């Protein structure tokens, strides 16, 4: 039991939260290991931010308990928890310098001036912002403001770091750069981290494991590869990556009549001009350039499949042969087999 507690930095046990008479979180269970980076991923309204706010102490669950490093913190306020949160809007004081923004939570705790200065310098060094310590938030870029918010969280030396959609205010190119910085920083410090996002690319690129949420529950909690290769529910399969969804059955590499749902990743559809074993005739109905590959729509009778093709891209109207190399088969929304 002792070894298990040391491994489990965060345990959410049967959390339920009702807001406005509606169940937002419904008997949620989650275990995050020490030093792990976990994403809560899902669409707006699925309960991921509510879960994060309960972990941080801004909301108290109606049922269930929260344990951090083996200690029950369910009823503790945020200031009494060994956690720090980076908010979506960063919540920086515009009239304060970067140094004063980072120092603020330590001043509230009335720490000695010398210790505050030492810890702020260390935190700014970690995020490479010492050269901006006297600047104000309005004088630095959005990415730098995000790093100030990170430094303000890290200066508190938390056991767990909580990030609420931290990259949503950045443009697409900067978002990629900053998420790489966050991942590198998290690995270097070995700090347990939970991040909320609705962006699957973001979650897949930085997480050790991902909890896909739907209607206040976790549909699946797995590694990024497991989520993509073996999504346990049809909901997860549709949410993670691209998917051809076909009603019917699946046998011998073909969609056949049936009462199941067949999910096929576009990269698992092979198209060529000549017939190969297991292939079926198909006509190109649409070609969408995607940069380094093209998304090609292949039609046969009333079934249309998307395929990702990077070389020898066909043209609309071309007739060839398609072959499915892998399919996910679902019954009543649950994965029954990978064929």
Output the six-digit token pair for 92: 């920086």
Q: Mean pLDDT of all residues in the chain?
A: 90
* Backbone angles phi and psi of 85, in degrees to 5: -120, 135
Strand-strand pairing, 254-264 and 328-331:
antiparallel
CA distances from 23 to 17, 47, 316 (A): 6, 9, 49
Please give the pLDDT value at position 177: 80
pTM: 0.87
Say how far apart CA 104 and CA 202 lie, in whole Å. Answer: 30
Question: 103: exposed, middle or buried (C-beta count within 10 Å: 0-12, 13-18, 19+)?
Answer: buried
CA angle 161, 233, 21 (to 5 degrees): 65
CA distances from 16 to 13, 163, 186, 209 (A): 9, 21, 29, 22
Contact 218, 29 (CB under 8 A): yes
Maximum separation of any 2 CA atoms in the chain, in Å: 77
Contact 96, 135 (CB under 8 A): no
Task: Please tell me the CATH code under which domain 244-338 is placed.
Answer: 2.40.50.140
pLDDT, one tens digit per residue, over 130-173 is 999 999 999 998 888 888 888 888 888 889 999 998 877 777 77
Tell the CATH superfamily of the 2-238 domain.
Answer: P-loop containing nucleotide triphosphate hydrolases (3.40.50.300)
Please give the pLDDT value at position 112: 92
* Backbone angles phi and psi of 263, in degrees to 5: -105, 125
Q: Is the pLDDT of residue 106 over 80?
A: yes
pLDDT, one tens digit per residue, over 50-68 is 999 999 999 999 999 999 9
Domain ranges of the chain: 2-238, 244-338
Output the six-digit token pair for 7: 């491994």
Say how far apart CA 176 and CA 162 lie, in whole Å. Answer: 19
Please give the pLDDT value at position 227: 94
Which is more confident, 201 or 1?
201
Which whole number is the average pLDDT over 295-315? 90
């Amino acid at each position: 039991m002792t070894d298990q507690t040391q491994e489990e930095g965060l345990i959410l046990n049967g959390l339920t939260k009702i807001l406005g008479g509606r169940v937002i979180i419904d008997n949620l269970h989650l275990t995050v290991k020490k030093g792990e980076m976990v994403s809560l991923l899902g669409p707006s309204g699925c309960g991921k931010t509510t879960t994060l706010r309960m972990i941080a102490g801004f909301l108290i669950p109606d049922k269930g308990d929260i344990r951090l490093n083996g200690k029950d913190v369910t009823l503790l306020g945020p200031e009494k928890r060994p956690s720090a949160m980076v908010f979506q809007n960063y919540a920086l004081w515009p009239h304060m310098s970067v140094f004063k923004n980072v120092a603020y939570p330590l001043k509230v705790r009335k720490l000695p001036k010398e210790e505050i200065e030492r810890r702020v310098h260390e935190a700014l060094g970690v995020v490479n912002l010492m050269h901006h310590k006297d600047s104000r938030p309005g004088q630095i870029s959005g990415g730098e403001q995000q790093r100030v918010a990170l430094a303000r969280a890290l200066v508190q030396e938390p056991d767990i770091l909580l990030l609420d959609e931290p990259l949503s205010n950045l443009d697409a190119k900067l978002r990629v750069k900053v998420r790489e910085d966050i991942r590198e920083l998290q690995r270097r410090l070995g700090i347990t981290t939970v991040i909320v996002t609705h962006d699957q690319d973001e979650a897949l690129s930085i997480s050790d494991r991902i909890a896909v949420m739907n209607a206040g529950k976790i549909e699946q909690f797995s590694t990024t590869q497991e989520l993509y290769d073996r999504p346990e529910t049809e909901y997860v399969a549709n949410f993670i990556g691209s998917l051809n969804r076909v009603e019917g059955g699946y046998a011998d590499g073909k969609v056949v009549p049936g009462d199941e749902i067949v999910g096929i990743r576009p990269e698992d559809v092979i198209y060529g001009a000549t017939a190969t074993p297991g292939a079926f005739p198909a006509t190109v109905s649409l070609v969408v350039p995607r940069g380094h590959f093209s998304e090609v729509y292949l039609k046969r009778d009333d079934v249309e499949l998307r395929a990702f093709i990077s070389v020898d891209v066909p043209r609309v109207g071309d007739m060839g042969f398609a072959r499915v190399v892998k399919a996910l088969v679902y019954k009543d929304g649950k994965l029954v087999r990978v064929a």
